[in-house]
Structure 1
Amino acid sequence: MAVPERLKGIAPLQGELVTLPSVQELRPVNSFEEAYVAEIDIKLSNVVVKLLETNYPRNPELSLSHLRRLLRPEHLPEPLKRELEESQQRQGSPSKPAASIHVLIPPPLPEISEIQTLLAPYAPKTPIEADTTNPPPEPLQPIIRIQKTVISTKPPTTIAEAQEWSRTKWSTVYNPAARSAIHAPPQVQLIRAKASISPRAGYFLALAREVAGETLRSGRGRGVGAVIVDPELLTGKSDDTDELLNSVVAVAGDTRWWKASLEKHAEGATQEKKEPDADDEGGPESHAVMRGISMVSRKRIALNNPVTSEPESSTPSEVESAPLSPTSLESHFFQLPNLLKSSKGGYLCTALDLYVTHEPCICCSMGMLLSRFRSVTVLQSGMRRSGEGNSLDAVHGYGLHWREELNWRAIGFEFTESEVGGDKAGEEFNA
């Protein structure tokens, strides 16, 4: 059957698109460090803050914008307020309260004696009642009162968490906008991506399953298929089959058994289904996702050098011998002149969407992030549910699609079929 006819017969999968949670959402890690609190003259607070920033620069890796720098005595957290009152009772209260304010000194921390020496000229002035009979003695060098507390080096994830930290540790501000970019996709970005992907995910995943089936039947690799789509080509377009197919930049299947299939073909073996040993498998460069990225790369070369780098037309022998040689479906989409010049950065797959039948391996997931995909959508039947090596599963694995440690993040989705057919994949392997 000709490729266009096969594509016309693909029926979209029916199901629901669910957002993959991030590691930060499921396993929030709070980082607390010790800090100092110094009592100073309220009139000199601005001078003291500048002095501290000059002598003790903050760690540039820590963003402490969620912490207040200055607090009046009445706004101190309960433990610090109680400690301050007990200290004043032991020393005897002055006739009038000192006009003081408390400044936070975050890590890295110097010696307490060093801070007391530096801030001594800025100690709060304690009023002394006039006594004409006994003139006051020479004033002693004031001592800066230093207290210890604990601060969070990461912003709070909820209002309740900010309130609890303010009550027990130090005054903390909750900023929803600051949280979203670190812990999970910003709501605006997530809503737009989901609205764009949800109506079409069933069709593109059905196409990925068709690519996987072609790969499996050829004996070149496992039944894994990947489809790469440019959502910009669908902007303002209808969701009929022709428009959906025209937005597909590349498709790729798995070829990890291509060497074994060559040997089998050379020996004139029958087409009996027999899975090669693990030692026969190729590396991640033979996986569907990495092959799809390579095809986008080759199309970009052809786009930038149309005269010298036109898509190659391989002979049958070359198709059988090269790891990146296309199948009929791969060749069809590779030859479509639908790859737009990148206007959003110089990376291979900036703003493109990836649909894959199985959860990619760790190497492929990192390749996906380095290529700057906008999103990745995986069939639920292809998500691994055990093992710590899961790449996208944030429950048991790494949740690489959205981790604050990485310099790029892709929105992750899982497509749950409402009625799973008989070809549901239950294999446990890295795709």
Structure 2
Amino acid sequence: MSTPDAAASSIEPLGIVARRGQLLPLKTKDEVRAALETYRVYVVEVPAKHANAVKDVIQAALPDLRTSDFGHLRRVVQFKFLPPHLQKTFSPPSRLPRGDEEEEPNVSEDALAEELDAVRFFLVSPTRYIQHADLLLALRQKPPFDIAAAPPRILYATVPALAPTSAEQAARWSIDYWPIAYKNTNPYGPHPSLVTRNTAEIQDEVGHWLALAKATGGQICGLGLGENIGCVVVDKTSSVSKVIAVTGDCRWRSPTGGPMPKEGHGNVMAHAVERAIAMVAKKRLRVARTDPNLLDRQLFCDSPLTDLERHFFAMDNLLPNGYLCVDLDIYITHEPCVMCSMAILHSRFRRCVIGRRMPLTGGLSADVTIKKDNGGIKPGNGLGHGIFWRPSELNWKFLAWDWVDEDNTDAISSIKDTMHV
């Protein structure tokens, strides 16, 4: 569990007030794909007692059909479990008058309910597997349709192509598309229980660390050495969270130490994330009794420059062993650029929280929605890289969240979406 009192004790003496809000887990690239892809399927109306027989007919007609590809979809569904738009399309059952025909006057609502309860709607396959005419012919050759006066009723539905990634998504799809069989897992990202457990562990502290990140970014910005961007690295492997490093953006610091003209992109190696990783490395050398000055590089601006940076850098609160940033968490005022996102990944951070999405330049997020001033979201252009969780392509993965302020306002509005953070 998180320890907000310990977090507060780290920042309140510094005059920093915690931000209030909530965490939203970032979606992986495959999760975004799963939410967007759909295809058309055939649905056959069958008498309830013949559903298994129709299944055998379909298997014989489509021997290459991989039902595992749509195992997230309910195969046989009662009318009452269909989404409202399909109930409207599929009712009444085929043996009752339909279309412009005159309705039989003796068909009551109770009788109609009985008719609907006596049929099932069988999801056959994606339409790409078989032509409508061939499916009709296959069904007509076997019971119960071989002796029926009317041909089988073949309907259509649009369904999600991939399995849902959460119970909430499954419930929504069951209303919007077709009844879903959710298996309490996420095949395209971190398991829901893992996300829930980690969210609960850090939720009460996030506002403190993002406030600290904002403060340290503001100090550097006030010196004219960088943009108003900050970063905090936290060790939460024990019961008490420890701040390992805080850094601000230093892209406008010249080799002589003073501000330089804000032309171009500045020194990209002095982004707040790059500086934080460099300071973690120097602290590990120091606590291992190795000269940290061996890592001094003017390009990275890897020495503390402000009171806040010096305050936390001076603490010997990091173990000397371990690879760089393994098991450490990183909190950033803004979503990091692709370069810094890859630096976070290769440094083996455990978790990452961003205070503001940067859809046009950020490398962590996979979807391209952006927050509006009123707290909602809207579609937007973006890179969509989703670097934080791509295990089939990258050799490390970590959990990542977006932070939404309680008052639905940007904590730092001076940074343009086009800026690389």
Distance 1:213 1:323, change over 3 A: same
Q: Secondary structure at the match of 1:149?
A: strand
Q: Give the corresponding residue for 1:426.
A: 414
1:227 Cα offset (Å): 1.0
1:356 aligns with 2:308: no
Q: Give the corresponding residue for 2:43.
A: 37
Q: Give the corresponding residue for 1:111.
A: 131
1:69 Cα offset (Å): 0.8
Q: How many residues are aligned here?
A: 355
Distance 1:20 1:232, change over 3 A: same
CA contact (8 A) 2:62 2:129 kept: no
Residues 3-60 of structure 1 show CA distances to partners (whole Å, capped at 9, x for unaligned) of xxx999523314413334767999x966542211246744524534654674222584
1:186 Cα offset (Å): 4.6
Give, in whole Å, the separation in 2 of the partners of 1:299 and 1:53: 63
Q: Which amino acid aligns with 2:272?
A: A
Give, in whole Å, the separation in 2 of the partners of 1:250 and 1:121: 73
Matched-pair identity in %: 19
1:415 Cα offset (Å): 5.3
Distance 1:101 1:196, change over 3 A: closer
Give me the TM-score of the superposition, normalised by structure 1.
0.59
1:149 Cα offset (Å): 0.8
Give, in whole Å, the separation in 2 of the partners of 1:279 and 1:80: 61
Distance 1:152 1:295, change over 3 A: farther
Give, in whole Å, the separation in 1 of the partners of 2:217 and 2:184: 41
Correspondence list, 1:15-414, <5 A:
15-20=19-24, 31-38=37-44, 41-45=50-54, 47-48=56-57, 50-51=59-60, 54-58=63-67, 60=69, 64-65=71-72, 67-71=73-77, 77-82=87-92, 84-85=94-95, 102-107=121-126, 108-116=128-136, 122-124=142-144, 145=152, 147-153=154-160, 155=164, 157=169, 159=171, 162-163=174-175, 165=177, 171-173=178-180, 175=182, 177=184, 186=192, 189-190=195-196, 193-194=199-200, 196-198=202-204, 200-201=205-206, 203-205=208-210, 207-209=212-214, 211-212=216-217, 215-216=220-221, 220-233=225-238, 235=239, 237=240, 244=241, 247-258=242-253, 261-262=254-255, 264=256, 275-279=260-264, 281-283=266-268, 285-293=269-277, 295-296=279-280, 311-314=290-293, 319=296, 321-323=298-300, 325-327=302-304, 329=309, 333=313, 336=316, 338-339=318-319, 348-350=325-327, 352-361=328-337, 363-365=339-341, 368=344, 371=348, 373-378=350-355, 383=356, 388-389=360-361, 393-394=370-371, 395=377, 409-414=399-404
CA contact (8 A) 1:39 1:124 kept: no
Give structure 2 stretches of 5+ with no counterpart: 1-9, 102-114, 372-376, 392-396
CA contact (8 A) 1:227 1:248 kept: yes
CA contact (8 A) 1:36 1:146 kept: no
Give, in whole Å, the separation in 1 of the partners of 2:51 and 2:68: 26
Give me the TM-score of the superposition, normalised by structure 2.
0.60
CA contact (8 A) 1:32 1:151 kept: yes
1:104 Cα offset (Å): 1.4
1:278 Cα offset (Å): 2.5
Give structure 1 stretches of 5+ with no counterpart: 1-5, 91-96, 129-141, 166-170, 238-243, 266-270
1:276 Cα offset (Å): 1.7
Residues 160-215 of structure 1 show CA distances to partners (whole Å, capped at 9, x for unaligned) of 763464xxxxx51475956x8989995884476356342x4454345434543564
